[in-house]
Structure 1
Amino acid sequence: MRILILLLALFATPVAACGIDSDCEVPGGTYRIYVPDGGADGAIFFAHGYGGSAAGTMRNDRFRALAGRLGVALVALASVGKDWALPNAPEHGNDPPRDEIAYVAAVKADVVAQFGLDPDRMLLAGFSAGGMLTWNVICQGGDLFAAFVPMSGTFWKEPPQSCDADAAVTHYHGTADTVVPIGGRAIGSSRQGDMGEVLAFYVRDRALTPAGPVDAPDGLSCQRWDGKEETYLEYCTHPGGHRFSADWIERVWTRDMK
Structure 2
Amino acid sequence: MTSQRLLTLVSAALSGVVSFASSASACSTTTPCLVETGEYNIAKPDADTEAAVIFIHGFGGSGSGVFRNQSLTNSVLERGYALVAPTGLVPEGRNGGSWSFHPNREQRRDEISFIKSVRDDLIETHGIDPDKILLTGFSIGGSMTSYLACAEPDAFKAYAPLGGSFWRPHPTTCAGSVSLLHTHGWTDGTVPLEGRMVRGIDVKDPNSFVQGDVFHAMSIWREANQCNNLKADRFDTSGPFMRRSWERCAPGSNLELAIFPAGHIIPKGWAEMAIEWFENL
- CA deviations 1:138-175 (Å, max 9, x no partner) are 11121122221111101121332322232111111112
| 2:103 is equivalent to residue 84 of structure 1 | no
With over 3 angstroms needed to count, the CA separation of the structure-2 counterparts of 1:114 and 1:135, relative to structure 1, is same
2:262 aligned counterpart, secondary structure: coil
How far did 1:252 drift? 2.8
With over 3 angstroms needed to count, the CA separation of the structure-2 counterparts of 1:197 and 1:109, relative to structure 1, is same
1:195 is aligned to 214
8 Å CA contact retained: 1:220, 1:238: yes
1:120 aligned counterpart, secondary structure: helix
How far did 1:15 drift? 7.6
1:206 is aligned to 225
8 Å CA contact retained: 2:134, 2:278: no
Aligned length: 241
1:128-139 to structure 2, matched below 5 A, reads 128-139=139-150
- CA deviations 1:20-58 (Å, max 9, x no partner) are 110111121110111113631210000111101111112
2:273 is aligned to 251
Q: Which amino acid aligns with 2:75?
A: L
1:234-249 to structure 2, matched below 5 A, reads 234-245=256-267, 247-249=269-271
8 Å CA contact retained: 2:76, 2:271: no
Picking from 41, 52, 75, the partner of 1:43 is 52
The 1-side partners of 2:238 and 2:26 are apart by 40
Segments of 4+ moved more than 6 angstroms: none
How far did 1:182 drift? 0.5
Higher mean C-alpha deviation, range 154-163 or range 21-30: 154-163
Q: Identity over aligned residues, as a percent?
A: 31
8 Å CA contact retained: 2:53, 2:133: yes
1:56-205 to structure 2, matched below 5 A, reads 56-81=65-90, 82-87=97-102, 97-188=108-199, 189-205=208-224
Q: Which amino acid aligns with 1:180?
A: V
The 1-side partners of 2:77 and 2:171 are apart by 36
With over 3 angstroms needed to count, the CA separation of the structure-2 counterparts of 1:184 and 1:237, relative to structure 1, is same
Q: TM-score, normalised by structure 1?
A: 0.86
1:25 aligned counterpart, secondary structure: strand
| 2:226 is equivalent to residue 215 of structure 1 | no
1:11 is aligned to none
Higher mean C-alpha deviation, range 108-117 or range 79-88: 79-88
Picking from 211, 219, 225, the partner of 2:246 is 225
How far did 1:199 drift? 1.1
The 1-side partners of 2:52 and 2:24 are apart by 21
Q: Which amino acid aligns with 2:214?
A: M
Gaps spanning 5+ residues in structure 2: where? Answer: 1-22, 91-96, 200-207
- CA deviations 1:119-143 (Å, max 9, x no partner) are 1111011110110011011111211
8 Å CA contact retained: 1:39, 1:71: no
RMSD: 2.0
8 Å CA contact retained: 1:28, 1:103: yes
1:22 is aligned to 31
8 Å CA contact retained: 2:50, 2:127: no
1:109 aligned counterpart, secondary structure: helix
Q: Which amino acid aligns with 2:260?
A: H
How far did 1:18 drift? 1.1
8 Å CA contact retained: 1:44, 1:74: yes
Q: Which amino acid aligns with 1:250?
A: E
The 1-side partners of 2:51 and 2:176 are apart by 21
Q: Which amino acid aligns with 2:257?
A: Y
Gaps spanning 5+ residues in structure 1: where? Answer: 1-13
2:168 aligned counterpart, secondary structure: coil
